[in-house]
Amino acid sequence: MSTESIAWRAPQAAARPLVDKLHEWVTTVDHKRLGILYITYALFFLIIGGIEATVLRIQLIRPHNHFVPPQVFNRMFTMHGTTMIFFVAMPVLFGFANYLVPLMIGARDMAFPRLNAFSFWMTAFGGLLLYFSLLGANGLYGAGNAPDVGWFAYAPLTSLAFSPGHSTDYWTLSLLVSGFGSIGTAINIIATILCMRCPGMTLEKMPLLAWLNLVMAGLVILAVSPLTAAQIMLLIDRYLGGHFFDTQAGGSAVMWMHFFWVFGHPEVYVLVIPAFAFASEIIPVFSRKAIFGYPVMVAATICIGFIGMSVWAHHMFTVGMSSSANTFFVLSTMAIAVPTGIKIFNWLATMWGGQIDFKTPMLFCVAFLFQFLIAGLTGIMLGSAPFDWQLGNSYFVVAHFHYVIVGGILFTLFGAFYYWFPKMSGRMYNEKLGRLHFWLFIIGFHLTFDFMHIPGILGMPRRIYTYEPGRGWDVWNLIVTIGVVFQAAGVLVFIGNLLWSYFRGELAGSDPWDAWTLEWSTSSPPPAYNFGSIPTVRSRRPLWDLKHPDDPDWKYE
Amino acid at residue number 384: S
Q: Which is nearer to other proteins, 232 or 356 (CB)?
A: 232
Q: From start to end of 417-491, where are the E strands?
A: none
Residue 196 contacts other proteins per CB under 8 A: yes
Footprint (CB under 8 A) of other proteins, residues 515-544: 536, 538
Which of 45, 87, 244, 451 touches other proteins (CB under 8 A)? Answer: 244
Judged by CB under 8 A, which of 13, 15, 19, 240 binds other proteins? 240
Q: Report the SS3 class of residue 124.
A: helix
Contact call for residue 318 and other proteins (CB under 8 A): no
Q: Which residues, at least 6 apart from 366, have a Cβ–Cβ distance to it below 8 Å?
A: 358
Q: Is 232 in the site for other proteins (CB under 8 A)?
A: yes
Instruction: Give the shortest CB-436-to-other proteins separation in angstroms.
Output: 43
Q: Which of residues 75-134 bind other proteins (CB under 8 A)?
A: 111-112
CA-CA-CA-CA torsion sign (109, 112, 118, 119): negative
Which C-beta is closer to other proteins: that of 226 or that of 361?
226
* Contact with other proteins (CB under 8 A) among 249, 319, 338, 478: 249
**Residue of 190, 277, 391, 508 that binds other proteins (CB under 8 A):** 190
CB of residue 200 vs other proteins: minimum separation in angstroms? 6
Q: Does 22 bind other proteins (CB under 8 A)?
A: no
Q: How far is the CB of 266 from other proteins (least distance, A)?
A: 11
CB of 227 to other proteins, least distance (A): 9
Of 202, 323, 324, 355, which one interacts with other proteins (CB under 8 A)? 202
Q: Rule CB under 8 A: say whether 197 interacts with other proteins.
A: yes
Residues 517 and 190: their CA atoms lie apart, in Å, by 20
For the bound state, the minimum distance from the C-beta of residue 217 to other proteins, rounded and expressed in Å, comes to 8
207 sits near other proteins (criterion: CB under 8 A): no
Q: Verify binding: residue 549, other proteins, rule CB under 8 A.
A: no
Whether the Cβ atoms of residue 119 and residue 184 lie closer than 8 Å to each other = yes
Between residue 361 and residue 420, which ones bind other proteins under the rule CB under 8 A? none
107 closest CA partner among 224, 192, 215, 190: 192
DSSP 8-state assignment for residue 249: G
> Which of 242, 293, 461, 532 is close enough to bind other proteins by CB under 8 A?
242
CB of 248 to other proteins, least distance (A): 9
List the one residue from 21, 71, 114, 199 that touches other proteins (CB under 8 A).
199
Residue 517, CA atoms < 13 Å, CB-side half-sphere: 26
- Interaction of residue 229 with other proteins, rule CB under 8 A: yes
Q: Cα(545)–Cα(96) distance, rounded to whole angstroms?
A: 25
Residue among 290, 353, 355, 349 nearest 545 (CA): 290
The answer to whether the beta carbons of residues 102 and 209 sit under 8 Å apart is: no
Query: Can you tell me which of 157, 230, 344, 484 binds other proteins, judged by CB under 8 A?
Result: 230
CB of 151 to other proteins, least distance (A): 19
Length of the chain, please?
Answer: 557
Cα 173 from Cα 231, distance rounded (Å)? 8
Which of 144, 165, 226, 415 is close enough to bind other proteins by CB under 8 A?
A: 226
CA dihedral 168, 171, 177, 179 (to 10 degrees): -120
Decide if 450 contacts 456 (C-beta within 8 A).
no
Scanning 288-406, the segments in alpha helix (DSSP H) are 294-308, 323-335, 337-351, 360-383, 385-391, 395-402
- Give the three-state DSSP class for 427: strand
With CB under 8 A as the contact rule, the residue among 3, 252, 310, 384 that binds other proteins is 252
Smallest distance, Å, CB 186 to other proteins?
A: 7
Whole-number CA gyration radius for the chain:
24
Least Å distance, CB 64 to other proteins, is: 44
Q: Environment class of residue 368 by beta-carbon count within 10 Å: exposed (0-12), middle (13-18) or buried (19+)? A: buried
Measured between alpha carbons, how far is 171 from 169 in angstroms, rounded to an integer?
A: 5
Shortest separation between residue 324's beta carbon and other proteins, angstroms: 17
Measuring CA to CA, which residue among 330, 500, 484 is closest to residue 421? 500
Interaction of residue 233 with other proteins, rule CB under 8 A = yes
- Considering the complex, what minimum distance in angstroms separates the CB of residue 321 from other proteins? 14
Cα–Cα dist 498/240, whole Å: 48
Q: Does 35 bind other proteins (CB under 8 A)?
A: no
Cα–Cα distance measured from residue 15 to residue 500, given in angstroms and rounded to the nearest whole number: 23
Identify the residue among 47, 61, 187, 433 touching other proteins (CB under 8 A).
187
Considering the complex, state which of residue 470 and residue 549 has its C-beta at the smaller distance from other proteins. 549
Dihedral sign from CA coordinates of 345, 350, 354, 357:
negative
Give residues in contact with other proteins (CB under 8 A).
111-112, 183, 186-188, 190-192, 194-202, 217-218, 221-222, 224-226, 228-230, 232-233, 236-237, 240-244, 249-252, 255, 259, 262, 536, 538, 554
